[in-house]
Amino acid sequence: VDEPVRGGRGRPFGRSKAIRLAALAPPAVALVVIAGCQSHQSAPSSPPPAAPTQTQLPFPGLIGPKGLAVDAAGDVYVTDSSTNPVIKLPAGSDAAVKLPFIGLKDPVGVAVDSAGDVYITDNKANKVVELPAGSNAQVELPFPGLKMPFGIAVDGAGNLYVADYSPRVLELPPGSNTPVALPFVGLKDPVGVTVDAAGNVYVTDCDVSDNTNNRVLKLSAGSGTQVELPFTGLKNPKDVAVDSAGNVYVADGDIIVGGGARAVFKLPVGSNTPVELPFVGLKDPLGVAVDSAGDVYVTDNSNGRVLKLPAK
C-alpha cells in the first residue's frame, strides 16, 4: 500500500510487460505621414509571447532527488536520497506517496511502463528491481554483472534499457533472462538513457574523472552505428529524454551559463542548435522527463526540489 509522504526538514526550495514575466509596456503607435495623403495610423505590433514559468511540485522533504519519470496519466515518479527513496505524485494531487520498495541502497534511475509497472536502478546494490502495478512485492530483474547502473528506460514493447558504468547500455527483452549489450562504442560513463516510439535509443556519455566525452549519442532502431547529436558545450550531461515529436532534452549538471546557473537544453527535431529552456535557479539538474503535453520536468538535486516547465 502506498504511504503518504510526510514533510521533512525540507529545503527552501529544496521489466515484465514502456520558468519571469516582465511587464510589457503598451506598444507604441506609429503615425506615418505620406505626402498628398491623410495621416494613417499603423496597427499596433504584437508583443512577443511570454516565456513559460516554472512551478515547484509538492514533493515534501526531498534531500537529493535524482531520477524522474512521468507516465501516460501524468503521474510523476522521483527517486531520492532520503528515507522516501521512490515517490509518486499522482496527477492533479498535492499528496505524494511512497512506493513500497524495500532494501534499496541508492535508487537512481526510474522508469514506468504503460501497465504501471515501475522499474528502479539501485546504483550501490548493482541491481534493477521492478514493482509490478498493484503489487507490494518487488522483483529483482536478471541484469548480472552490473557496475553502478544509472539511467533506465522502457519502450512500448516492454524492452528495458539500462545505462551502466561498465561501460555499456543493456537491453532486456520482455520474457528474457539474458540482457544484450547495444552496439554503442567508445563509451566512458553512460548516465542517462531513453528510447523513443520508433525504438531509437539515446544515451548521455561523460567521463567523471576528467570531464571529457560530454556528448549525447543516438542509436537508431535496427542500426549498429551510433550518431552524436549536436549538443555542443556540454559539461556534465546527466539524464536525457525525448518527446513524441522527437525533440531531445538533456539535463547538464555542471554547465555555467548566465548567472552561474546549470541548465536543461532542448534539441528541436531537425535542428542542429540546442536551446536552453527557461528554468531559473537550477543548482544541480539531474533527472529530466517530458509528458505527452510537452511539459518538461527536472530534478534539482542540490536544491532538493522537482520543477515543471509548461509547454506554453
| 207/143: higher pLDDT | 143
Are the beta carbons of 164 and 150 closer than 8 angstroms?
A: yes
Q: Taking residues 41-57, what's their average pLDDT?
A: 70
Q: Taking residues 195-210, what's their average pLDDT?
A: 92
Q: Is the per-residue pLDDT at 29 higher than 70?
A: no
Q: Taking residues 130-144, what's their average pLDDT?
A: 98
How far apart CA 83 and CA 217 sit, in angstroms, is 34
Q: What region does 10 belong to: left with phi over 0, alpha with psi -120 to 50, or beta?
A: left
- Rounded to whole angstroms, what are the CA distances from 124 to 104, 120, 200? 9, 12, 28
Q: Taking residues 193-214, what's their average pLDDT?
A: 91
Q: Which helix (H) or strand (E) holds 57?
A: none
Q: Taking residues 245-261, what's their average pLDDT?
A: 72
CB atoms within 10 A of CB 139: 14
Q: How confident is the model at residue 233 (pLDDT cuts 50, 70, 90)?
A: confident
Task: Calculate the average pLDDT of the chain.
Answer: 86
Q: Taking residues 141-158, what's their average pLDDT?
A: 98
Q: How confident is the model at residue 47 (pLDDT cuts 50, 70, 90)?
A: low
Q: Is the per-residue pLDDT at 107 higher than 50?
A: yes
Return the percentage of the chain with pLDDT > 90, whole number.
74
- Rounded to whole angstroms, what are the CA distances from 10 to 20, 63, 100, 221, 253? 25, 7, 22, 43, 22
Q: Taking residues 205-210, what's their average pLDDT?
A: 81
Return the percentage of the chain with pLDDT > 70, whole number.
81
Q: Domain 3-19+47-309 is of which CATH architecture? A: 6 Propeller (2.120)
Please classify residue 125 by burial: count the beta carbons closer than 10 Å to its beta carbon, then call 0-12 exposed, 13-18 middle and 19+ buried. Answer: middle
- pTM (predicted TM-score): 0.83
How far apart CA 192 and CA 215 sit, in angstroms, is 11
Check residue 253 and give its pLDDT: 83
Strand ranges for 225-284 from DSSP E: 226-228, 237-242, 248-252, 263-267, 275-276
Q: Taking residues 57-64, what's their average pLDDT?
A: 96
How far apart CA 203 and CA 242 sit, in angstroms, is 11
How does pLDDT run across 262-275, given as a tens digit for each residue? Answer: 899 999 999 999 99
Please classify residue 279 by burial: count the beta carbons closer than 10 Å to its beta carbon, then call 0-12 exposed, 13-18 middle and 19+ buried. Answer: buried
Q: How confident is the model at residue 83 (pLDDT cuts 50, 70, 90)?
A: confident
CB atoms within 10 A of CB 26: 7
Check residue 81 and give its pLDDT: 87
